[in-house]
Structures are given as structure tokens and as C-alpha cells.
A and B are shown apart, each in its own frame.
Chain A
Amino acid sequence: EIVMTQSPATLSVSPGERATLSCRASQSVSNNLAWFQHKPGQAPRLLVYGASIRASGIPARFSGSGSGTEFTLTISSLQSEDFAVYYCQQYNDWTFGQGTKVEAK
């Protein structure tokens, strides 16, 4: 099983600031990596797939990068609606990271 490790567990950010989230795979997943945003009581929302392709309707402030085992999700200028938990997922055999909670500083 491919283990996905996200860091940090919690990220405290002020609106307008840049947020950088990391995800590491225990073995190469090529670019089969997705990022999701999840708010309580809502359906998780696909943000990025193929490591760097923004999903339909996702604002340009969200960007993904990386390949192999190291990946990054960047929110260039955090908006109030971006406070949520973010998960990475590799879809070779469907394992998820433990999540990064982005909270208000």
C-alpha cells in the first residue's frame, strides 16, 4: 500500500496570504495525484488532478505541482472561503493523506 503523508497537519494563515501544503508518497505515483478540499457537512471537492491540472471551475489561486513522490498545493492568496481541510490522494490504488487543516491565524 502506498502511504501518503501530508504536512503540516495544521496551517494558520491570514486572508490574502499564501498557503503551501505538502504531500509525500512512500513510492512513486507518477502524476496520479489529486487534491481535495473538504468542509464539514459538505461533499469533498476536487481541486487538482494529474498533480497540476485544475479541475473545472476551480479558481486560479489554487495550483498543484510535483511528480513522483513529492507534491505541493499552493493557494496564492487565501480567501475566507478557503478555510477547510485539504487532502491529497494517489489514485494508483486510492490512498489518501491524513489532511492539512487550513485555519484562520
Chain B
Amino acid sequence: QVQLVESGGGVVQPGRSLRLSCQASGFQLSTFGMHWVRQAPGKGVEWVATIWFDGTNIYYADSVKGRFTISKDNSKNTLYLQMNSLRAEDSAVYFCAREGYGGPFDFWGQGTQVTVSS
């Protein structure tokens, strides 16, 4: 069955970097668009980044543009989020999600916690 498992979260100082991973199973990343979404404590859910199934199009939220990079390795069936120049406001639980046919996010991971603090 479809499963998404995030990893790589942790506590990091402001200005440092972190790379999140999302291991997919039960389907091929090469055939689905993928997203990163985050939820800060007590806040709503915020879309972060998207990569199309074929990698030809990538989009970012304005809040992370120029600092975060979404990528994937189809051979490892793994999605990544490279986060640079981290800020306190980037602290959140980060989820990866699959974009199903027609656009809805049909499967999500359980999330990985990122805390940016000195």
C-alpha cells in the first residue's frame, strides 16, 4: 500500500541547514507530483514546495523561495527538501504529500519536526 515516511528533522540553529527526506513506497515517484507542506505550532497548514512527476516544474511558497530546494531521486524513490538559511519561523512539522489524479493530496506522511532555535 502507499506509504510516505519523512525523516531528517531536528533542532538546528538559525542560519544553518537541514535536509529532509521522504521515502515513498507502494508507488513510483516518477509518476506522481509531490509536495512539501508544513504546520507551525498553533498555526495553520502551509504549502511549501512542489515538484512535478517528471521534475520539469518546481514551485515554492514565497516564504521559502531562494532558501529551500525540493528534489527527488527516482532510483531511491525518495523526495527531498534542502532547507538553507533557516529562520525561527521555519519551525514546524513538515509533511510530504502525494498529488493524486486531478490534484488532491491523496496520501501524506506523518511528518517530521523541525525546530530552529539558538
- CB pair B44–A49 under 8 Å, yes or no, is no
The complex places the Cα of A32 from the Cα of B107 at a distance, in Å, of 17
Question: Shortest CB–CB separation between residue B74 and chain A, in angstroms?
Answer: 22
Stretch in contact with the other chain, from B12-20, B24-32, B45-53, B76-84: B45-53
- CB pair A43–B44 under 8 Å, yes or no, is no
For residue B41, CB closer than 8 A to chain A, the reply is: no
> Which one of A43, A45, A46, A96 lies within 8 Å of B47 (CB-CB)?
A96
Q: What is the number of residues of chain B that contact chain A, defined by CB distance less than 8 Å?
A: 21
Looking at chain B's contact residues, is the secondary structure mostly helix, strand, loop, or mixed? strand
Closest A residue by C-beta to B61? A94
* Pair count A-B, CB < 8 A: 54
Closest A residue by C-beta to B110? A43
Given known contacts A49-B102, A49-B104, A89-B105, is B47 in contact with A41 (CB within 8 Å)?
Answer: no
Given known contacts A43-B4, A44-B95, A98-B44, is B104 in contact with A91 (CB within 8 Å)?
Answer: yes
Given known contacts A43-B4, A49-B100, is B108 in contact with A96 (CB within 8 Å)?
Answer: no
Residues of B within 8 A of A89 (CB): 45, 104-105
The complex places the Cα of A45 from the Cα of B108 at a distance, in Å, of 7
- CB pair A44–B44 under 8 Å, yes or no, is no
Residues of A within 8 A of B72 (CB): none
CB within 8 Å of B: which A16-73 residues: 32, 34, 36, 41-46, 49-50, 55
A-B contact pairs, 21 of them (CB 8 A): A34-B104, A34-B105, A43-B4, A43-B95, A44-B95, A44-B97, A44-B105, A46-B100, A46-B106, A55-B106, A87-B45, A89-B45, A89-B105, A91-B104, A94-B50, A96-B44, A96-B45, A96-B46, A96-B47, A98-B44, A99-B45
List residues of B whose CB falls within 8 A of some A CB: 4, 35, 44-47, 50, 95, 97, 99-100, 102-111
